[in-house]
Amino acid sequence: MTARVLLPWPDLAVPPELTTAVWDGRGTPPDALEQVEFYVLPYDSGTRPFDLFGKLPSLRAVQSLSAGYDQLLPLLPDGVRLANGRGLHDLSVAEHALTLVLSAQRLFPRWFAQQQKRTWDRAHTRSLADTRVLLVGYGSIGRAIERYLLAGEAEVVPVASTARPGVHGVAELPELLPTVDIVLLVLPDTPQTIGLIGAAELAALPDGALVVNVGRGTAVDTAALTAEVAAGRLRAALDVTDPEPLPADHPLWTLDGAIITPHIAGGSDSFYPRAKRLTERQLRRFAAGEELENLVR
């Protein structure tokens, strides 16, 4: 029997009416794919999985496990639906954002340095509790971060591109920035977000404020942020930078008030179970002839 669905993993719950083939994006794809109607793309395998489109004459729908699909759209055959992986990385990014915030507030760079010197030297630290956190970017990642922050009794001030009830618009940043302890940026890389936090915005923050970025490095003026951190006036905890990778000779690396991780917020174990659960839901919908979730075309 020829496969009707092509999947990246063998260990999925598949409705009995579907026949399956498996390809993880490595090695040679399987044969007998003429009947494949639904193709779940292997994750993190570059553009090679797209080459298979030409061998799938029965293809009706593609499931991507990434959120972005700009590269994929022009290659997708006419009439084929596309569902994306929106939300699968949210919790991974939210966890990393919280680790950056907590590490900065609770002085973890100090404790790691002391551990290397084997010294037991106590100090009082900042908290996350009771801080006022400006959450710039209030999509599904922002809301996952908010759940953590509220559990920790921080005050969350959400900001989106335009104001709506309970959410401020970016136009209000000048009034909001002087009132917060932490700015947490979760912005996509769009023409509207480039340079959103420049020298003037950073200057508007109170002394000692923490700037956290898990979105795109281009949202922040790196030179201006470096100057504020070097002066000891602001602190920074960044998973993304501009330029990226951060060059080895960049002064940010060695500043006391800076924590830098190499754009790894999205890459953790929490992705796989979520990707598998979404795939299994989509297979049930496909088998039942229902509309897929997360359709983008």
The Cα–Cα gap between 172 and 136 comes to 11
Of the candidates 4, 216, 228, 235, the residue annotated as catalytic is: 216
Active site annotation includes 81: no
Helix, strand or coil, per DSSP, at residue 57: coil
64, with CB counted inside 10 A (0-12, 13-18, 19+), is: buried
Q: Is 122 in the site for its own copies (CB under 8 A)?
A: yes
Q: Is 256 in the site for its own copies (CB under 8 A)?
A: no
Active site annotation includes 244: yes
Q: What's the closest the beta carbon of residue 105 comes to its own copies, in angstroms?
A: 8
Q: What's the closest the beta carbon of residue 104 comes to its own copies, in angstroms?
A: 10
Q: Is 112 in the site for its own copies (CB under 8 A)?
A: yes
The Cα–Cα gap between 51 and 214 comes to 32
The Cα–Cα gap between 274 and 153 comes to 27
By beta-carbon proximity to its own copies, the closer residue of 39 and 271 is 271
Residue 195 DSSP label: T
Q: The tokens 């966890």 sit on which residue?
A: 95
Q: Which of 157, 259, 275, 278 binds its own copies (CB under 8 A)?
A: 259
The Cα–Cα gap between 173 and 167 comes to 12
User: Residues in the site for its own copies, rule: CB under 8 A?
Assistant: 91-92, 94-96, 98-99, 102-103, 105-106, 108-109, 111-116, 118-130, 147-148, 150-153, 244-246, 248-250, 253-254, 258-264, 267-270, 273
Active site residues: 216, 244, 263
